[in-house]
């Protein structure tokens, strides 16, 4: 990349010790407070004063008007959709509850005991995920948020909610046509020569169709917000927000866990994703970055047709290519897949410095090798924003990871995380070394699967790594788990960055198995502070 050089000194081949694992990781020691009879006797002798409760009561009374005002305003913003969603929620709870009762009865009759999921009821990861799926798009997106935020949620929930990333059923084409007519304000055939009724993709929030512009005959894709989803989303998120506010009011101790702040983060993230004007801004920002850095011959992002785009529809240039996991096609398009991967890494790392936001969802559906040999970055619905403090700590973390130096790695995580504790950095470093050294020599098998499309009779060959999304997150969950045992909590941007590195490590295994992406001098990890290393 122009102007960038490697931030990690030293050339070395071989694989990074980062994500190369197959089996379940060994348990890592955690430190817990041991309660003795003395502890309990002290607690028994301690009786909070009446003044304490009086002060807490007065604080609650003072905060009550603000809570009521917040609830009333949020309810007004929700509109008439609120009661309907409440009824649908009750129906979903009854449905999943019935399923739990049947499963519990069956387990009791066969084994005489209940598994952990059954003991927790609807609050268990399994049944809560099923409840979210019955509740529809908002809660599926909420499940995806949980699955993507291991710094905020327990690992068993993060792993279970990976299932929320499955393909969503498509919306009938006549519903899509109705939205297009409404948003365009004119007959569809006056704008587009055709719109393919078969969707290219269908997710929980949007559906994508191929089309061609009538005047210019350019091929495009149209991303369409699913009908009625925005109202449902607002109603659901407002309900979740009100519930969080009431819980914090009833139990002020929860405010220390930042419950309302987490809900606000979720609401802001999800509402941004359904505003396609914001996604268009993200795409334009990335395209400007490519132009300013002279990278348009190496990478591309789709042109946005703003005259045919609104908050609910996004019309973009159609890029033709294959995912970075399609080994057969990649080998037919470029002579050196490793060079293409290095380009993708350099472009993405460079965007951390040069763009307001970075692409935070580089899975195989969004990162392609185009027919002309360039790297295509697609779908900017999920982006991240990284603070200089987090990036500075992240640089030290990556360098320490590449060199296998665990004390500076521990120090970087302590700098990045929020904690009120005094942390034993040496003990923390030893626990991190236990995690990473246990997987250093493990490898991952690659499988190639062919799937035949019944409609087109075309064969799509894709390569994947044996570990799936849940396995791919296992290492990061172990890092988070051991960090939390020391009282550390990381910003969400750290999770987003790590997830993208896990994706890139997957591509490295497929396209360049001898490449170490953290130590190869051809890969430029630039400093957010603007400093340059040789």
How far is residue 314's CA from residue 211's CA, in Å, rounded to a whole number? 12
Measured distance CA(207)–CA(188) in Å, rounded: 17
User: 361, 379, 431, 505: which one is catalytic?
Assistant: 361
Please confirm, yes or no, whether 520 is among the known catalytic residues. Answer: no
Q: Are strands 383-384 and 358-359 parallel, antiparallel or unpaired?
A: antiparallel
Cβ–Cβ contacts within 10 Å for residue 266, how many?
21
Which element (helix H / strand E) includes 367?
strand 367-370
* H or E segment and range at residue 369: strand 367-370
Q: Give the C-alpha separation, 212 to 206, whole Å.
A: 19
Around Cβ 59, how many Cβ atoms within 10 Å?
11
Residues 6+ apart with CB under 8 A from 432: 406, 409, 410, 413, 479, 482
Q: Are 22 and 443 in contact (CB under 8 A)?
A: yes
Cβ contact 170:202 at 8 Å: yes
Report the first-to-last Cα separation within the chain, whole angstroms.
Answer: 14
Axis-axis angle for helices 425-437, 474-485 (nearest 10): 160
Give the largest CA-CA distance in the chain. Answer: 83
- Helix, coil or strand: residue 61: helix
Query: What's the token pair of residue 263?
Result: 């809900």
* Mode of pairing for the β-strands spanning 219-225 and 313-317: antiparallel
With residue 377 as reference, give the H or E element that holds it. Answer: strand 375-377
Q: In the numeric block, which tokens belong to residue 520?
A: 């190869």
Judged by DSSP in three states, 469 sits in helix
DSSP state of 304: B
Q: What are phi and psi of 34, to 5 degrees?
A: -95, 120
Dihedral angle over CA of 501, 507, 513, 518, nearest 10: -20
Instruction: Enumerate long-range contacts of 299-303, CB under 8 Å, 24 or more apart.
Output: 299/343, 299/344, 299/347, 299/374, 299/375, 299/376, 299/377, 300/370, 300/374, 300/375, 300/376, 300/377, 301/376, 301/377, 301/378, 301/380, 302/221, 302/376, 302/378
- Would you say 44 and 527 are in contact if contact means Cβ atoms under 8 Å apart? no
Tokens standing for residue 435: 């995690």
Residues with a catalytic annotation lie at 361
């Amino acid at each position: 990349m122009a102007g960038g050089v490697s931030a990690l000194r030293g050339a070395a081949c071989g694989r990074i010790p980062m994500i190369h694992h197959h089996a379940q990781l060994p348990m890592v020691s955690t430190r817990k407070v041991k309660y003795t009879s003395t502890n309990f006797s002290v607690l028994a002798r301690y009786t909070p004063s009446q003044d304490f409760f009086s002060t807490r009561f007065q604080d609650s009374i003072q905060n009550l008007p603000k809570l009521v005002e917040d609830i009333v305003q949020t309810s007004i913003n929700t509109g008439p959709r609120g009661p309907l969603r409440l009824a649908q929620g009750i129906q979903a709870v009854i449905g999943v509850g019935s399923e739990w009762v049947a499963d519990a009865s069956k387990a009791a009759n066969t084994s005489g005991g209940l598994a952990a999921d059954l003991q927790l009821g609807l609050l268990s990861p399994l049944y809560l995920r099923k409840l979210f799926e019955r509740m529809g798009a908002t809660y599926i997106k909420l499940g995806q948020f949980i699955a993507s935020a291991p710094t905020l949620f327990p690992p068993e929930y993060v792993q279970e909610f990976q299932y929320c990333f499955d393909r969503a059923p498509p919306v009938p084409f006549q519903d899509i046509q109705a939205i297009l007519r409404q948003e365009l304000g004119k007959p569809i055939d006056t704008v587009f020569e055709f719109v393919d009724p078969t969707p290219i993709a269908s997710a929980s929030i949007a559906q994508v169709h191929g089309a061609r512009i009538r005047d210019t005959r350019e091929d495009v894709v149209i991303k369409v917000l699913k009908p009625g989803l925005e109202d449902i989303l607002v109603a659901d998120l407002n309900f979740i927000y009100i519930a969080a506010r009431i819980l914090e009011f009833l139990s002020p101790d929860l405010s220390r866990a930042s419950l309302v702040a987490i809900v606000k983060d979720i609401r802001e993230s999800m509402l941004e994703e359904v505003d396609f004007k914001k996604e268009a801004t993200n795409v334009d920002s990335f395209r400007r970055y490519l132009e300013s850095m002279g990278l348009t011959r190496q990478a591309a992002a789709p042109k946005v047709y703003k005259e045919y785009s609104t908050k609910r529809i996004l019309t973009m240039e159609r890029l033709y290519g294959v995912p970075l996991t399609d080994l057969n096609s990649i080998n037919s398009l470029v002579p050196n897949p490793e060079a293409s991967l290095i380009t993708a890494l350099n472009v993405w790392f460079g965007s951390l410095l040069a763009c307001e936001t970075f692409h935070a969802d580089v899975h195989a559906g969004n990162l392609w090798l185009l027919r002309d040999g360039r790297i295509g970055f697609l779908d900017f619905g999920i982006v991240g924003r990284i603070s200089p403090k987090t990036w500075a700590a992240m640089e030290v973390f990556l360098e320490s990871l590449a060199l296998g130096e665990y004390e500076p790695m521990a120090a970087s995580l302590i700098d990045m995380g929020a904690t009120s504790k005094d942390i034993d950095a040496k003990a923390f470093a030893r626990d991190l070394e236990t995690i990473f050294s246990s997987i250093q020599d493990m490898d991952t098998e690659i499988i190639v699967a062919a799937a035949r499309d019944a409609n087109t009779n075309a064969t799509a060959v894709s390569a994947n790594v044996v570990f799936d999304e849940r396995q791919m997150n296992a290492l990061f969950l172990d890092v988070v788990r051991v960090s939390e045992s020391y009282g550390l909590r990381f910003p969400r941007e750290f999770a987003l960055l790590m997830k993208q590195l896990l994706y890139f490590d997957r591509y490295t295994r497929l396209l360049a198995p001898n490449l170490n992406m953290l130590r190869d001098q051809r890969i430029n990890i630039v400093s957010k502070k603007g400093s340059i290393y040789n």
